[in-house]
C-alpha cells in the first residue's frame, strides 16, 4: 500500500547568468533554503535526489550525487545520494523518484534538488550540449536543433489549426509579465507584443524572444510521509498524482508532431491517480521552452481543446486573472531554464501558490496545481498534481 506524500519545504535560487556562483554553491543554497523552510534537521534526512541533465559537459563534473551530498553537508551522514537524468525533464523525474521512495515506505524524509550551471560554456557549446537530448544519429548529425524542431512544430500547428505568429508572441508577453513579479526570475521585466514580434528570427516562426534562455540556477524541495508532515508545518502540500511517459526520441517518428503523446499519457495517469479532471486545476506550470510548447502543452493536458491553444491565449484564459493561470512564475521563458532545475522549480512555484505565498503573482484561492516538465522535444514527460484539499 503506497503512502501519501507531502511537500514540507521549498527553496529556489535566483535564475540567470550567475557568474559569481558555482554549480555546487547553487545546489547547496537551494537545499539549505528548502531545509530551513521545512523545519527539519539534517539528521532526519533519509536520502537525496538531484536532477541534472549534463553536468559533465557544462562544468566537467560527473558523479553529481556524491558532490551534492558533500557540499550540502551530508557526506558524514552517508545517506544515499542519487543523480537523475531525463534531459530537460531531469528535475521533474527527480521529484517523481523521491516521491516513490517515500510513498513506498523505504524513506520518510528526502530532499529533491535540481541544478544546472549552463553559462560556464560559450553559446555554441551550450547549444551542442542541449542537442545531446535529441536523436544524435537521425537529428543532431544532420544539423537539427531544438529551435529548428520546435519551429517545424509551430509551422505545422499554424497550418493545421490557424495558430498565428501573434498568438505565439502573446505567450511570451504573458510570461514576461508574470516574470516581472517573480524575484527569482532571470528576466524581471515586461516586454510588449511589438518587441516580441520584432525580435531577430531564430527559426521561423520563432524569434529570439519566443525562446527560453540559457540559465544557471537551482531549486529544492523536501518530501515527507504525509502522516508526519504536520510535525513540521501547518501548510503541507500533498502530491495527489504523478505521471510519466515516453515517446520516440526523434520527432520524425511521431504519429502527429503537433501532439506530444508523452504529455497526454503522463497527464492522464496523473489525473487518474489524483482522481480529478483538467477542469479542477487552479494553476499550472508548463514547459514553455518555446512559445509553441506552452500552446501544445495546455492542449495535450486537456486544459483547452486540441487546436485551441492559440485562441486561449487571445482570450486570456491563462493569464494571472484568467480561468486557469499558466506559468505564474514567468515560465521557462522569463524565469529561466537551467534545465536540471526546471522541474523542481515548477513544483516549488506551485507549492508557494497553494500556500498563498506567491506575493504579487498569487492566484486567488488556489487549491490544486499542476506541473508539466518535458525532456527534449516531447520524448519524455513528467506531470505532477499537487493539492491542499
At 323, phi and psi to the nearest 5? -65, -45
Handedness of CA 15, 321, 384, 245 (dihedral sign): negative
Order of all β-strands in the sheet with 5-12: 81-84, 47-51, 109-117, 216-225, 5-12, 237-246, 380-387, 368-375, 283-285
CA angle 300, 359, 298 (to 5 degrees): 5
Give which of 219, 227, 350, 237 is closest to 8, Cα–Cα: 237
For residue 384, indicate whether it is catalytic: no
| Residue 262, all three cell numbers | 508523452
CA dist list (Å): 139 to 145, 232, 251, 298:
8, 48, 8, 26
Catalytic residue among 287, 337, 372, 384: 337
Catalytic residue among 88, 211, 258, 289: 88
- Asked whether the beta carbons of 326 and 333 are under 8 A apart, the reply is no
Give which of 120, 123, 139 is closest to 56, Cα–Cα: 120
For residue 337, indicate whether it is catalytic: yes
Active site residues: 88, 337
Amino acid at each position: 500500500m503506497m503512502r501519501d506524500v507531502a511537500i514540507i519545504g521549498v527553496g529556489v535560487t535566483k535564475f540567470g547568468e550567475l557568474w559569481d556562483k558555482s554549480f555546487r554553491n547553487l545546489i547547496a543554497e537551494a537545499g539549505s533554503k528548502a531545509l530551513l523552510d521545512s523545519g527539519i534537521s539534517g539528521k532526519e534526512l533519509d536520502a537525496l535526489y538531484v536532477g541534472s541533465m549534463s553536468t559533465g559537459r557544462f562544468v566537467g563534473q560527473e558523479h553529481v550525487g556524491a558532490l551534492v551530498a558533500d557540499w550540502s553537508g551530508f557526506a558524514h551522514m552517508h545517506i544515499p545520494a542519487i543523480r537523475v537524468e531525463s534531459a530537460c525533464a531531469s528535475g521533474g523525474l527527480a521529484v517523481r523518484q523521491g516521491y516513490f521512495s517515500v510513498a513506498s515506505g523505504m524513506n520518510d524524509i528526502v530532499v529533491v534538488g535540481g541544478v544546472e550551471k549552463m553559462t560556464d560554456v560559450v553559446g555554441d557549446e551550450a547549444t551542442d550540449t542541449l542537442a545531446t537530448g535529441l536523436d544524435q544519429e537521425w537529428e543532431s548529425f544532420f544539423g537539427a536543433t531544438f529551435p529548428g524542431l520546435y519551429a517545424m512544430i509551430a509551422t505545422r500547428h499554424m497550418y493545421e489549426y490557424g495558430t498565428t505568429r501573434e498568438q505565439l508572441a502573446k505567450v511570451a508577453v504573458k510570461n514576461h509579465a508574470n516574470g516581472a513579479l517573480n524575484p527569482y526570475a532571470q528576466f524581471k521585466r515586461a516586454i510588449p507584443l511589438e518587441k516580441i514580434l520584432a525580435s531577430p528570427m531564430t527559426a521561423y516562426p520563432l524569434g529570439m524572444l519566443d525562446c527560453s534562455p540559457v540559465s544557471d540556477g537551482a531549486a529544492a524541495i523536501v518530501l515527507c510521509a504525509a502522516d508526519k508532515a504536520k510535525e513540521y508545518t501547518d501548510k503541507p502540500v500533498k502530491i495527489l498524482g504523478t505521471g510519466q511517459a515516453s515517446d520516440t526520441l526523434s520527432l520524425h517518428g511521431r504519429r502527429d508532431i503537433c501532439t506530444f503523446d508523452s504529455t497526454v499519457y503522463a497527464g492522464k495517469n496523473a489525473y487518474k491517480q489524483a482522481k480529478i479532471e483538467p477542469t479542477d486545476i487552479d494553476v499550472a506550470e508548463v514547459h514553455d521552452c518555446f512559445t509553441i510548447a506552452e500552446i501544445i502543452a495546455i492542449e495535450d493536458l486537456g486544459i483547452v481543446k486540441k487546436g485551441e491553444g492559440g485562441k486561449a491565449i487571445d482570450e486570456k484564459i491563462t493569464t494571472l486573472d484568467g480561468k486557469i493561470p499558466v506559468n505564474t512564475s514567468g515560465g521557462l521563458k522569463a524565469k529561466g531554464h537551467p534545465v536540471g532545475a526546471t522541474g523542481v522549480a515548477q513544483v516549488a512555484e506551485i507549492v508557494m501558490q497553494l500556500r498563498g505565498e506567491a506575493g504579487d503573482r498569487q492566484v486567488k484561492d488556489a487549491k490544486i496545481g499542476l506541473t508539466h516538465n518535458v525532456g527534449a522535444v516531447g520524448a519524455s514527460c513528467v506531470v505532477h498534481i499537487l493539492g491542499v484539499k
